[in-house]
Copies of this chain bind each other. A is one copy, B any other.
Amino acid sequence: MQYHISGKMKNLKPSAIREIFKYAGDPAVISLAGGNPAPETLPAEDVRRLMNDALTQDPMTALLYNQSEGYSPLRQALRDYLGGGLVKESDDVIVLSGAQQCMDLACKVLCDEGDVVLCESPSFIGSLNCFRSHGVRLVGVPMEQDGIVIDELEKAIIQNRNARMLYLIPNFQNPTGITMSAEKRKAVYALAKRHGLVIVEDNPYGDLRFSGEDIPSIKALDDDGVVIYAGTFSKILSSGIRVGYMVVSKELMGKIVVAKQCADVHSSMPAQMLCHRFLTQRDVLAHIEKNKAVYAHKCNLMLDEMDASFPKEVTYTRPCGGLFIWATMPARIDSNEFATRLVRDSKVCVVPGSAFVVGDGALASSFRLNFSASSDEQIKKGIAACAALLKEMLG
């Protein structure tokens, strides 16, 4: 059979992270490549109990079809959890099959093929590939220590009149770990509003701040339906259950619901009922508070090991939360070669920076390190292997 492959899918490659994930199945491999939460922070016993409760108390709600908008009690619990500062009167909440689906539905509803999506560069490959799969053109805007470069963003908006969305991860960005300052959030919001651009604010890691002060989300500034906000249970409850959500203006909600119907009818009911019970029957804030200590410890351990062993020519971010550190080698070192040699010779996985780049290869000498999913022992061994190879390649 000779297949006709659509233009939008023809050149799309599998995500480098997903591919590296296959190596990670080898128990001998230390993976600093994934994006899993710290397994020890996930409340496995609570999940078992709450799921069992749901299937005992209300089995037919779990087993039969439900509304595309999501399980009503969960939608209400999310409104309560997120608060009126984030979910305004003019907003609605839809439950999704993971936050990734927010990118899929928003792009489908708002973008025609050939339209432009603006994003931070580097940015999360899963979202970038999702946008690419809709045939849009990605335009990357460079980052600095406190987030996206505003002048460059404005230039990009003006140069791309068919830009429909601006994709941002303001907290502990994937892959850089950078957090956008409050001033920049305001500036970005004002720019987007002025130019009629929808901001997609992806906030998977917001709950995982272990140092510094929380900064209000961009959605909190928004009374005019400019911002679509994506949240998830992946980092605080379970990434495997695939439950996320979108806060979106009531005006846009109708189209998003139609897109959701078309995609998968609705999200898995047992998982939705679990999330509802978790939000309403457990002390979620205390749970998150406890987890932060684990993340702080792991991040600090990794940074300490890097400080002690990495060559001085290698720089890296010092995140205040999230899962990732972004390391940058001298430009003469290619991160693909580094990552390939590292997994082949030392059985340690990292993600080469090229995976996250939008447009040209200017960031091809960086790589992403995950500190959440590994044990202390693995972090030490993994960083030691990175350091040894860095020294060798830097000569």
Contact = CB atoms under 8 A, between A and B. Distances in A.
The oligomer's copy count stands at 2
Given A100-B265, A242-B264, A225 B1 contact: yes
B97 A9 contact: no
Interface in A250-277: 251-252, 254-255, 257-259, 261-271, 274
B39 A62 contact: no
A318 to B, nearest CB: 26
A98 B262 CA distance: 11
A133 B224 CA distance: 26
Interface string A14-58: 110010011000000000001111010010100110011001100
Contact of A9 (B34, B113, B164, B258): B258
Interface residues of A, number: 89
Given A34-B65, A261-B18, A264-B242, A6 B59 contact: no
Interface in A90-119: 97-98, 100-101, 104, 108-113, 115
Given A21-B65, A63-B238, A67-B22, A7 B112 contact: yes
A98 B264 contact: yes
A196 interface: yes
Given A47-B55, A48-B59, A241-B270, A265 B39 contact: no
B36 A64 contact: yes
A227 to B, nearest CB: 10
Contacts of A198: 1, 3
A181 interface: no
A60 interface: yes
A61 interface: yes
A262 B129 contact: yes
A157 to B, nearest CB: 14
Given A252-B3, A268-B97, A15 B62 contact: no
Interface string A64-98: 11111000000000000000000000000000011
Given A6-B109, A12-B258, A51-B55, 16 more contacts: A3-B251, A13-B258, A21-B67, A42-B60, A42-B63, A44-B60, A47-B63, A48-B59, A63-B238, A64-B238, A100-B263, A100-B264, A108-B133, A133-B258, A264-B264, A270-B271
14 contacts: A1-B193, A3-B110, A8-B108, A15-B258, A21-B67, A22-B67, A37-B64, A51-B51, A97-B97, A97-B268, A129-B258, A264-B264, A267-B268, A268-B270
